[in-house]
């Protein structure tokens, strides 16, 4: 009897303490009527049938949205990378052409123009040198004419002396006097011709000197012009080279930036591989959730016990990634393993 | 003449990533969404190497490798499996079907290029 009382008191105390503890944890909850096991099983089946399609639909919606977004992102990035490649290729080609092609061709053409001017000037200077030679020859002719005048004068004097001697000897020297007179006439004509020659030679000398003066002035002017052209062409080529160098530097800077951007985008694209992995994980999860109503129904109908391990084992059998197995076993997020390469 | 590589993967992002890496190294690229799609694109072109995923809809990678190896033109074309799959059993199946290498995702482009260049030069 005493033991019954003690047990009753202990039960009452236990119930009271339990009620008090529950009241503190879940205050003011209405009392629930516990349905019979069959009804609970049917409730669970209905619950599973109602929630799992929504869960699956939400997972599928997430997968689709993520797949589309990442797909568009990778496509955009791929387009950027492709455009950068095109820009890099064309930039390198244009620069190569500019440095090695256009510049060399320009220098060659301008060199030909200046060379032509140089040749013309050289030709002119050679002609002037010939004219100088002509002037020297003309001077020699002048001297020779002077010599002829002197010879004629001496001949005239000799003829005069001969005529005087012929007259002095009388009748016998008459014929000789005629010859002496003829010789004097020839000497006079020679002297006159010589004087005219000297006049002509002087005129020729003046003409040559005139041409020389004009052409030498012209040649000097052209020489200055050609030298100036040389300087200008070199200056233009220097400017062109300087501009090309700056363009090259600028382009190299852009190229380096483009290569850097390309690398960063490629790196970002590599990181977007997560979509494929997450997609597969969600797919495995969705399929496993989809199996929940069947397992619940089997349990409700008494075909099989409601065993979580059944679903967990099925889920594990679908895993393809090592981190899925790790997360399953540890119950926490697992680190993604580095890529491995195996050759067969 | 650049070598042509066929990329088979149901993930558009993976196809893009592999394509960019290979094009950057001078290869020509053809892509397919799954094994069936790949087989339909393999006639009339000269393909020097194939990179294929394992888990794909319509036709999985291992079946695709086996089918590709039945084609006389592809008997000696090397195939690299690019997959998230970690099971050794699948790896053995791929080897038995005729694959030459097994690369796990996520991969670094340099690793992929290294594996590719061991089997075919650009």
What residues contact A128, with CB distance under 8 A and at least 6 apart? A212, A215, A216, A219
**Could you tell me the domains of chain A?**
82-263 (1.10.287.950)
**CB of A344 less than 8 A from some CB of B:** yes
Name the minimum distance, in Å, from the CA of A324 to any CA of chain B: 10
- Please answer yes or no on whether A280 and B12 come within 8 Å at the CB atom: no
**CB of A283 less than 8 A from some CB of B:** no
- Mapping DSSP onto H, E and C, the string for A18-31 reads HHHHHHHHCCCCCC
Q: In chain B, what residues touch A82 (CB-CB under 8 Å)?
A: 23
Q: In chain B, what residues touch A336 (CB-CB under 8 Å)?
A: 106
For residues A306 and A47, is the Cβ–Cβ distance under 8 A?
Answer: no
Q: In chain A, what residues touch B83 (CB-CB under 8 Å)?
A: 320
Helix runs in chain A, H state only: 2-25, 37-96, 103-169, 174-271, 274-300, 308-318, 322-330
- Please answer yes or no on whether A276 and B14 come within 8 Å at the CB atom: yes
Chain B nearest-CA residue for A69: B13
**CB of A325 less than 8 A from some CB of B:** yes
**CB of A326 less than 8 A from some CB of B:** no
Cα–Cα distance measured from residue B72 to residue B43, given in angstroms and rounded to the nearest whole number: 11
**CB of A274 less than 8 A from some CB of B:** yes
- Please answer yes or no on whether A78 and B106 come within 8 Å at the CB atom: no
Name the minimum distance, in Å, from the CA of B37 to any CA of chain A: 19
**Could you tell me the domains of chain B?**
4-119 (3.40.50.2300)
- Residue A72 CB neighbour total at 10 angstroms: 12
- Please answer yes or no on whether B103 and A340 come within 8 Å at the CB atom: yes
ipTM score for this prediction: 0.89
Q: Tens-digit pLDDT profile for chain A (344 aa)?
A: 334 333 333 333 343 334 444 444 455 555 667 777 777 778 888 898 999 999 999 999 999 999 888 888 888 888 888 888 888 777 776 666 556 677 788 888 888 888 898 899 999 999 999 999 999 999 999 999 889 989 999 999 999 999 899 899 988 888 988 999 999 999 999 989 988 988 998 999 899 999 989 999 998 998 898 888 888 888 888 888 888 888 888 888 888 888 888 888 877 877 888 888 899 899 999 999 999 999 988 888 888 888 899 999 999 999 988 889 989 999 888 887 777 889 99
Cα–Cα distance measured from residue A68 to residue B20, given in angstroms and rounded to the nearest whole number: 19
């Amino acid at each position: 009897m005493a033991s019954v009382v003690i047990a009753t008191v202990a039960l009452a105390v236990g119930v009271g303490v339990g009620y008090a503890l529950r009241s503190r944890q879940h205050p003011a909850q209405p009392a629930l009527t516990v349905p019979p096991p069959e009804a609970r099983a049917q409730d669970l089946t209905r619950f599973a049938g109602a929630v799992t399609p929504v869960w699956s639909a939400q997972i599928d919606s997430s997968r689709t949205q993520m797949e589309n977004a990442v797909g568009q992102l990778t496509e955009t990035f791929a387009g950027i990378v492709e455009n950068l490649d095109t820009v890099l290729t064309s930039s390198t080609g244009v620069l190569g052409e500019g440095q090695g092609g256009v510049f060399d061709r320009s220098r060659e053409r301008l060199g030909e123009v200046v060379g032509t001017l140089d040749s013309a000037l050289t030709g002119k200077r050679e002609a002037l040198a010939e004219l100088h030679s002509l002037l020297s020859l003309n001077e020699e002719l002048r001297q020779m004419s002077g010599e002829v005048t002197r010879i004629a004068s001496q001949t005239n004097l000799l003829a005069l002396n001969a005529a005087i001697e012929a007259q002095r000897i009388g009748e016998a020297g008459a014929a000789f006097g005629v010859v002496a007179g003829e010789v004097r006439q020839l000497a006079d004509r020679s002297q006159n011709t010589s004087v005219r020659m000297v006049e002509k030679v002087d005129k020729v000398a003046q003409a040559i000197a005139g041409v020389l003066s004009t052409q030498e002035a012209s040649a000097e002017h052209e020489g200055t012009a050609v030298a100036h052209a040389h300087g200008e062409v070199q200056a233009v080529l220097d400017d062109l080279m300087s501009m090309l160098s700056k363009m090259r530097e600028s382009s190299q800077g852009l190229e380096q930036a483009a290569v850097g951007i390309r690398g960063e985008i490629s790196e970002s694209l590599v990181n977007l591989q997560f979509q494929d992995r997450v997609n597969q994980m969600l797919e495995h999860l969705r399929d496993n959730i989809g199996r929940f109503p069947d397992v619940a129904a089997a349990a409700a109908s008494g075909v099989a016990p409601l065993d979580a391990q059944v679903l967990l084992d099925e889920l594990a059998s679908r895993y393809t990634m090592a981190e899925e197995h790790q997360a399953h076993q540890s119950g926490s997020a697992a680190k993604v393993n580095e890529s491995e390469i195996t050759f067969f | 003449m650049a070598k042509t590589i066929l990329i088979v993967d149901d993930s558009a992002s993976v196809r893009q990533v592999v394509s960019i890496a290979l094009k950057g190294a001078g290869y020509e690229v053809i892509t397919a969404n799954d094994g069936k799609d790949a087989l339909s694109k393999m006639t009339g072109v000269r393909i020097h190497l194939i990179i294929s995923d394992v888990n794909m809809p319509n036709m999985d990678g291992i079946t695709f490798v086996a089918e590709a190896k039945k084609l006389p033109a592809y008997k000696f074309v090397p195939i690299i499996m690019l997959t998230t799959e970690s099971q050794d059993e699948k790896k053995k199946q791929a080897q038995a079907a005729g694959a030459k290498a097994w690369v796990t995702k996520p991969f670094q482009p340099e690793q992929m290029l290294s594996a590719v260049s061991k089997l075919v030069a650009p």
